[in-house]
Structure 1
Amino acid sequence: MSEFTNPGFEARFTLAQAETTPPEVLAKLAIDTHAKIRRAVALNPSTPIKSLLRLGKEFPNEIIENPIFFLLLLEDPESQFVRLSLARSTTTDEAKLIQLFEENDPDIRCAIAQNPNAPLSLLVRFVQESYQRYDDGSGTTEKVNRILRGFVQNPDTVASILEELAYLSDPELTQAVLQHPNVSETAIAIIQAMRGQRGIPSAILDQLVNHQHHYVRYVILAHPDLAPEHLLKLAEDTELYWDLLDRRETLPTLVIDRIAEKTFQILMSPAPALHAAEMIVLWIARHRNTSIALLQAFASNQPDYLYQHWGEQQFQNFRAAVARNSSTPTFVLRKLSRDLKAEVRDTAKTALRSRKLSES
């Protein structure tokens, strides 16, 4: 092995090309400072697979030309090495890239996203997949973030990709989108809306409220310019109920009624599954824009199926919440002041005294 110790450039290049060079030497040459040597190692069939996988990021087409690739393509076409090499290569046809993308392997998808010949439809889907990572709470991986940043750093990235990137919450990334030469007015408006800025065109708000991903709808629900019809649309998503009630200072009565109606419908089902349903109904009982009809219902332990589902203690909490609600009519407070439960009676009496004092 003495002949392999600290050779000069020409000697290292010769070793990188020779199929007789020991694999451990090729592994060292695979991280050589000279690109020409690394490229030669990528073409050498004696190079260890682990080194070829790493070199494939830099020399994707050379890996495809390596005789070992053709051998493995025949022997084990489903191996990670073969699939990853195909995903990286600019010589791979579009149909194969689509097939590989559908396998839902994160490493394969990242490789395709970095392939300059990847079809636009796959790049759009790749960016959209990052929304799912926000949806499930896992956050984007650093590898995905690196690729997304690569998109905005590329001056040739098309406007449609930039518009997809505009939905993300990474401030550095969205700022880079704003500075991109191909940024569209739509992308700018999306970023401004996601940041909560005022004066957003209604069409953009419509687009965000109807977005397929929960994460986008969650961000936009607090926007101050949402119209009642936007809030009604968001109220169709049961996973947003708590956020709508908690993150918005005011909600129109018709939206609260819609949330209550759908919550009650779910609770009437054979297997109620709405998360935090009791807290949602309690919040509705406290909300100042809750309709008088609903406040009356809660004060009377109605609807019956809720009473059966939760029992007396929960409805005592609801009645007490109604008694504390500044929007509760006086005639309802009078009824609650005669409630069988002391907490409800006392709360209602305190509210009635407070109203008499304010009127005098």
Structure 2
Amino acid sequence: MDIQFRADGMPMDKKMRVVLAQREDAPQDVLRILASEEKPFVAGNPSCPVDVLIELASDSDDDVRLAVAGNPSCPSEVLADLARDSNADVRLVVVGRPFFPPWSFVGLEPYQRKHIRTLLASNPSCPSVVLAELAHDPDEEVRRYVARNPSRSPDSHADKVAADEKPFTSPALLERNAHSKDPDIRCDVANNPLTPPEVLAELSNDTCSGVRGRVAGNPSTPPEVLAKLLHDPNYFVYESACGNPSTPSEALAQVACDPDAWWYIASNPSVPPKTLLRLARSRRRARVRYDVARNPSAPYAALARLAKDKYYLVRRAAARSSTFPSDLLAELAHDSYKIVRLDVAENRSCPSHVLAMLVHDSYEEVRLAAAKHPSCPPEAIASLAVNRLLVPDDTSISTTELYRSPCSPLALNAGESLLGYLERLAVLHDKGALDDDEFAVAKRRLLSDVEKPLG
């Protein structure tokens, strides 16, 4: 990675150093340099060299040790030492790790905090000797976590605890509680995804609308029961059935004939694509279009329409969708609203060529979000520290010019002069943001790349 460093070997920009320290594709020699100044960020980077992690594990800063404890690349011997750290939060992170070495549990001092004992009891790496001790814990919740631990010994006291405490989710107990006189208990049964389908079908006829509503929202409810609940007179039941992804597509398409149902079915992935396209054309219901933009089953034609929606909140929903097509994301990367472009930069599905453009956005939040993205090209990040200085601080430049490719020449807006850009560079130089060499390079580049004004 070709990164611009100052004379002391560090990147020029403070925020740029933080971005580099967090990137997993950063070279180890770069991380070694950054470890002297950006310790917490380097300590949490899975690509951090092992010798640097060992050194940072004994740092006096609690935040640095906490980051080391949560690093998936942290060596087991370092974790064993951190399990006895003076800071309780560091110990919490260590004992809660699923691959914490079993031998490290043995010999730990007694834990006074219930939360730590609970993490130990639920950790699959916890050895049987520790689980056997926790099985006699005075707190019932800790004992229950021991009973549920998949690593417990078959003949341990934990199995005796499990035998004495029948799980609430057993089918026999659920069926018995379905006939309880207490409506709250029946609601709990109707809301439980482990409730047998025949019990849910019976509860769908309950006199309590709260029970029927929870049956309508349960993904384990049989489709034919959900289709029936779509005609329930209670609006809570009706709304829950409309939003249930297990509701049959044919039934949802019929419900879509009622415009009042659009509010409830727009986000349901089981709605047919043809119906979603119809909802995307709703002119007076921005919330309906917002939900369609978030729907993973929305067809391309609907998404292309929503990418041009007049309401920026609808475009935001589209920009944040992980299933939004890459070519439409590239279109939203030119949006006039900064917050929409920021959503595009933070989208995990954003393509690399779009991120390379957003690295040179006019707003710092967008640039940093694009630089932090794991798919952002390293060469685009390397040029960020210099190229960002050529973008004016005001908004006088047209939107088209602000989104030029980083490799294309810088164009002046109508009414802007070359002198104005040179004056901005001079101010940066006077403030110390640019040293003599950087100022000379930026000025030479500006003079050689500038085009004639537009218009």
Tell me the TM-score normalized by structure 2: 0.29
Of structures 1 and 2, the larger Rg is shown by 1
Structure with more of its chain in helix, by fraction:
1
- Higher relative contact order structure (alpha carbons within 8 Å, sequence separation ≥ 6): 2
Tell me the TM-score normalized by structure 1: 0.36
